[in-house]
Chains A and B, each alone.
Chain A
Amino acid sequence: MKELVSPKSTIDLTRVPNASDRFNINSQLEHLQAKYVGTGHADLNRFEWAVNIQRDSYASYVGHYPILAYFAIAENEAIGRERYNFMQKMLLPCGLPPEREED
């Protein structure tokens, strides 16, 4: 298994970047974004950000059984149904994505 390395240890932010470093950092960021779902970037738009937050929230609800039970009581549903609903909502948590600006 590849070592799980935290972002801090791969990028030395104290160094003054030069041109080649910048390229290097960008590629490293890309690598991090691919590896850690939800890592943001400079061009992140509002929708993408919200989708990430929502997916993280739903995953957290599903992962913490007491919270799932708390929701189940509020909605008067079975815990299993509540879990299924949350998982289903991970597909389009914030509705349809906005149209891309063609530029």
Chain B
Amino acid sequence: MYLYSLTLQQATGIVCAINGNFVGGKAQEIVVARGKSLDLLRPDEAGKIQTLHSVEVFGAIRCLAHFRLTGSQRLRRRRLGPGRIVIMEYHKEKNCFHKLYQETFGKSGCRRIVPGQYLAVDPKGRAVMIAACEKQKLVYVLNRDTAARLTISSPLEAHKSHTITYSITGVDCGFDNPIFAAIELDYSEADQDSTGQAASEAQKHLTFYELDLGLNHVSRKWTEPIDNGANLLVTVPGGDDGPSGVLVCAENFVIYKNQGHPDVRAVIPRRADLPAERGVLIVSSATHRQKSMFFFLLQTEYGDIFKVTLEHKRDEQDRVHVTELKIKYFDTIPVTSAMCVLKTGFLFAASEFGNHALYQFQAIGDGDDVEASSATLMETEEGFQPVFFQPRGLKNLVRIDQVASLMPIMDMKVMNLFEEETPQIFTLCGRGPRSSLRILRPGLAISEMAVSQLPGVPNAVWTVKKNVNDEFDAYIVVSFPSGTLVLSIGETVEEVSDSGFLDTTPSLAVSLLGDDSLMQVHPNGIRHIREDGRINEWKTPGKKTIVKVGSNRLQVVIALSGGELIYFEMDMTGQLMEVEKHEMPGDVACLDIAPVPEGKQRSRFLAVGSYDNTIRILSLDPDDCMQVLSVQSVSSPPESLLLLEVQASTGGEDGADHPASVFLNAGLQNGVLFRTVVDMVTGQLSDTRSRFLGLRAPKLFKAIVRGRQAMLCLSSRPWLGYIHQGHFLLTPLSYETLEFAASFSSDQCAEGVVAVAGDALRIFTIERLGETFNETIIPLRYTPRKFVLQTRKKFLVIIESDQGAFTAEERESARKECLEADGVGENGDANNVERMENGVGEDEEKEDPLSDEQYGYPKAESDKWVSCIRILDPKSGNTTCLLELQDNEAAFSICTVNFHDKEYGTLLAVGTAKGLQFLPKRSLVSGYIHIYRFIEEGKSLELLHKTQVEGVPLALCQFQGRLLAGIGAVLRLYDVGKRRLLRKCENKLFPNTINSIHTYRDRIYVGDIQESFHYCKYRRDENQLYIFADDSVPRWLTASHHVDFDTMAGSDKFGNVYFVRLPQDVSDEIEEDPTGGKIKWEQGKLNGAPNKVEEIVQFHVGDVVTCLQKASLIPGGGECIIYGTVMGSLGALLAFTSREDVDFFSHLEMHMRQEHPPLCGRDHMAYRSAYFPVKDVIDGDLCEQFPTLPPDLQRKIADELDRTPGEILKKLEDIRNKII
């Protein structure tokens, strides 16, 4: 089995983010690393975050920093994967990152002493330090050669053995020798001293490393003990701007330190409701610098942002003294992994879980708020006096945009619950109060601008400009079976009668002709409306009527009934002149003319589709007018044709070196979209592609997307074909079936679409281009763990649980208390619980001064758990039942089960643990299996009984009318009793903890948390469970899926996906063993099972996969394994069906590896084989980078494969279309 791996949705979480000016000009951009991909984002004028560029790097990006070489106007940026530092800049012209320099310093991945964990740049851009968790620190000197190119020195070592590094930063010391600061801890003595005294005396130090540029040498300049809770360093501006030095962020404190300067210390204010044993840790920081002032924004692990300012003054010797450090409460936003303060007054907050947000500054925290200061720091006998505050609503920030993030995907199911054409992906995302159920549908989201009812059922709509130079459309023309309606576009859209259009007849086409005249084609003739109001009418001869029209700005071709074509051209005086007639063999089904090329008189090609299943290309040149240039036969009569210019590849925005090719698109009556390339000279057709779009014949329309030509295809659902980052994408729109559409442009909406469906006229725009999925969000209460489908009523049953949180009642009473204390009125908060689960709307959020989504749940002791079981109707998004578990119980597993005796029908089993604690050792009071009965037609639950068990039931599964439960290392079979579950059979031979159970016939596939899969068999006559096969590799299983009788798919904690299969002969032997005696008495070696499964597929995804499912995302498409990851990405593994494809793609992958090594310098093969050698999986993400290669390289690879670049692109498109 060979698989093709394709990422469907890039990771949506953010590892780190930096802001700066990368493109040039005044704009500020943000570069975000999403683990293995790198994106360049920019907030546009409207405050929406736009993605300028995104690239997959096939490596783990751990740290980003940016710098500007002195004297250089260009900002450069740098990033690094494991063991490598890469310096790159952004090429505006080519729209890509360009690697300037790459230096390898470790080849063995993210390890303890391989530098790369930390990265610090000298604020003047002269040097860079890279540090590992332990011991190693390397300093590179950055310089430029005579040609002003960047050069990088060989690394200077600043290693210190037995030393752990917590954070490093560059110290701003003007143009003196560059200095780097590091928080270090020496453990050598603690490792030797068995009394523990050395360990308790171990002290973190702040060390300054000086790079002597003259001697080219790094030395430890200064070191001093600091608070043992220190975890983060922040550079303080120096030189003329500030006092230099660093801010040391420690648990509960922020300390200003500099060489030869006394410490200035202030406490971080704490939330009043925080348990006493919890500290306050700074997790992310941002610095804002202006000419006259600077301040820092530090965010704590609870989401509170503090503004830190330094009071400083210069003494006589021109030394700067910091006199006071102030920490003031600023605002509270969800916890971030990185914050960026943009010069344009925005704050980009990259949330660690859940949606990212862009905030605008309303104020900079000058108001009256809780403030801790070094001046008022009080030291008592127990330590420093804490300062308390109460979080409040946003005062200084206002949220203006959100970027969706699925991180983390906890569970996923692909189902078609809504009976739509394609299945929906139900994902459980997020954590704590920000968790949600997200329903993903492949396709682009649209936003509806207007819907208006029309007096009848229209059959067509057009938009038309009055003048070719107009920016916006002037009229919307709607055709009905018996008339035509003209609407003028202005402030409002209203009916007009002075447009010159004939309104008593239906229309076949309406368009702008020449520079400023309009044309209406109706069944009996052509009406040409000149700019001065004169009207020329051309009537059809005899009783013939016009059936089809094709036109561009200067040419019109009409098809009369019977198959006669008449060709008109516009002459110099603006008159429409008949040029040629041509008799076609039969009736014309559809026709189209390509737009007039720039600087030409006419377009050369006319495409005509006939009912005899052919499409002909006819010439419109005067010398061979109406000659058939080529004929293409198709599988079904064409319904609609469109000639569209597509840039097959990018290299530059202008496409100068990639001439655009013209594609002939045909919508066939069997629902297939047929695309073929038209040779610009000969008119020959080649390179055909077809794709099934829906049950109705696609109608094709021109549209404009981002200023480029695009295509709307209306089948049983609408599709958009457009160019995104060099790829031609054909994506469904999440909208209802449309009849007819036209592009629409007005000053409210620059690139919209007007369409008719039923008796309504709809105007909409298409949002977030380039995204594969659009989502519907239903908020949940706690971190969702798992969910199952209640099959009869199609409700979802979700279990949610959170550690260290208060129950809803406790929270509610605490909230009331605190609001009363604050003097805030009740404010209708009593029904807050209700609101939480039924979705907090935008406006409701404003009412609620302390929404949990923004502020997080208050922290409780770590051994407290809250949990709930919810029944949710996915259609309406309503929760029909919510059971909050009591007594510190938390739900971990769920399944539906039908027991043998049909007394109860379908029951719900939920595995819970009471008082679970992970540290110092996993312990619990007891586990339970709850059995619930569905009542009120599945809308609600009733507890039947609960059975105490000795461990955490992490896996439950129905098996032959009984319930299989994995309780710790025990696999046990239960039957239902009146008051509790009854043990029937068990097997205690599993190595650690069972975390998944799948069953098929009498086989049971058990996944162990550390030891991969175990294949078991249940023998009913003996009532025994045997393990007959297991895996030889210890896999830390995170997700599993049953593929077929002998095969399981699994994923491990380290980011690998793998398939194991029981060898055929072993499988046969097991099945043919009638007595079962053989398996029973067979002994394995080293406590293992007698048989071993074989690994047949192995692939490193680079992200922890949390859910796997076999599904087909499109009707008629191949089944593939869909996976979701912690970082919020979705991917698919598709099995190849032919050997040829395997050969082709493995060769393409091989050439891509050679010719286009990944951007971050990680060897692609090494990356995909990070833990185990990659086996039988072809990386589609690498193959799909083919179109981004320069054309000569594309040709080179294509030649090696004995194909043309076009054929390769087609192959790539084809295989993608099989998946989504």
Contact = CB atoms under 8 A, between A and B. Distances in A.
Interface of A: 1, 4, 34, 36-38, 51, 55-56, 58-60, 62-67, 69-70, 72-81, 84, 87, 90-92, 96-100
B804 A99 contact: no
A28 to B, nearest CB: 18
B231 interface: yes
B134 A90 contact: yes
The 10 A-B residue pairs whose C-beta atoms are closest, nearest first, are A80-B283, A63-B110, A59-B112, A78-B301, A76-B803, A59-B133, A66-B1104, A99-B194, A81-B301, A65-B15
Nearest to B183: A87
Contact of A65 (B60, B196, B431): B60
B432 interface: yes
A63 to B, nearest CB: 3
7 contacts: A37-B135, A69-B13, A76-B431, A77-B301, A78-B352, A96-B196, A97-B193
Given A63-B62, A78-B301, A51 B191 contact: yes
Nearest to B280: A81
Contact of B1126 (A58, A66, A99, A100): A66
Interface string B643-665: 00000000000000000000000
Given A36-B113, A69-B352, A99-B194, A55 B199 contact: no
A37 B112 contact: yes
A66 B1055 contact: yes
A70 B192 CA distance: 33
Nearest to A2: B157
Contacts of A56: 111-112
A80 B110 contact: no
Contacts of A97: 191-194
A69 B190 contact: no
A53 to B, nearest CB: 11
Contacts of B946: none
B1054 A67 contact: yes
A90 B407 contact: no
Given A75-B803, A80-B283, A84-B251, 6 more contacts: A4-B106, A38-B113, A60-B112, A62-B133, A91-B185, A98-B194
Contacts of B802: 76
A59 B282 CA distance: 20
Nearest to B410: A73
A79 B353 CA distance: 9
Interface of B: 13, 15, 35, 60, 62, 82, 105-106, 110-113, 116-117, 132-135, 154-155, 157, 161, 164, 166, 185, 187, 190-196, 199, 202, 231, 251, 281-284, 301-302, 335, 337, 352-353, 407-408, 410, 431-432, 783, 802-805, 862, 918, 1038, 1053-1055, 1102-1104, 1125-1127
A41 to B, nearest CB: 15
Given A69-B408, A96-B194, A80 B281 contact: yes
A91 B111 contact: no
B1053 A70 contact: yes
A90 B165 CA distance: 10
Contacts of A60: 110-112
A62 B117 contact: yes
B1026 to A, nearest CB: 32
Contacts of A63: 60, 62, 82, 110-111, 116-117, 133
A4 B83 CA distance: 13
Contacts of B432: 76
B111 A78 contact: no
B408 A84 contact: no
A44 to B, nearest CB: 13
- Among B60, B112, B407, B802, max chain A CB count under 10 A is at B112
Nearest to A92: B199
A91 B199 contact: yes
A50 to B, nearest CB: 12
A97 B110 CA distance: 27
A9 B1038 CA distance: 39
A100 to B, nearest CB: 7
Contact of B187 (A38, A77, A90, A100): A90
Given A65-B60, A78-B335, A81-B281, A1 B15 contact: no
Contacts of B783: 73, 76
A59 to B, nearest CB: 4
A55 B111 CA distance: 10
Nearest to B135: A37
Nearest to B191: A97
B133 A87 contact: yes
Given A84-B281, A87-B231, A98-B194, A69 B1127 contact: yes
Nearest to B34: A65
A9 to B, nearest CB: 14
A90 B337 CA distance: 22
- Among B783, B805, B1055, B1126, max chain A CB count under 10 A is at B1126
A74 to B, nearest CB: 7
A79 B190 contact: no
B290 to A, nearest CB: 27
A80 B284 contact: yes
Contacts of A84: 231, 251, 281
B35 A65 contact: yes
Given A51-B191, A76-B432, A97-B194, A37 B134 contact: yes
Given A87-B231, A91-B185, A98-B194, A70 B1126 contact: yes
B199 A96 contact: yes
Given A37-B113, A70-B1053, A75-B803, A90 B1104 contact: no
A100 B194 CA distance: 8
A40 to B, nearest CB: 14
A66 B352 contact: no
A102 B283 CA distance: 45
B805 to A, nearest CB: 7
A63 B190 CA distance: 24
A25 to B, nearest CB: 22
B194 to A, nearest CB: 4
Nearest to B107: A4
B187 A1 contact: no
B590 to A, nearest CB: 51
B1126 A91 contact: no
B1104 A67 contact: yes
B283 A37 contact: no
B408 A64 contact: no
B1127 A66 contact: yes
A38 B1104 CA distance: 27
A78 B862 CA distance: 13
Contacts of B283: 78-81
Contacts of B155: 1
B194 A38 contact: no
Contacts of B105: 4
Contacts of B166: 87
Nearest to A60: B110
Contact of A91 (B62, B202, B407): B202
Contacts of B918: 74-75
A91 B133 contact: no
Contacts of B337: 79-80
Nearest to A56: B112
Contacts of B15: 65
A81 to B, nearest CB: 5
Nearest to B60: A64
Contacts of A73: 353, 408, 410, 431, 783, 1126
Contacts of A98: 194
Nearest to A86: B133
Contacts of B231: 80, 84, 87
Contacts of A99: 194
A91 B199 CA distance: 8
A69 B187 contact: no
B251 to A, nearest CB: 8
B407 A64 contact: no
Contacts of A59: 110-112, 117, 132-134
A103 to B, nearest CB: 15
A64 B1055 CA distance: 10
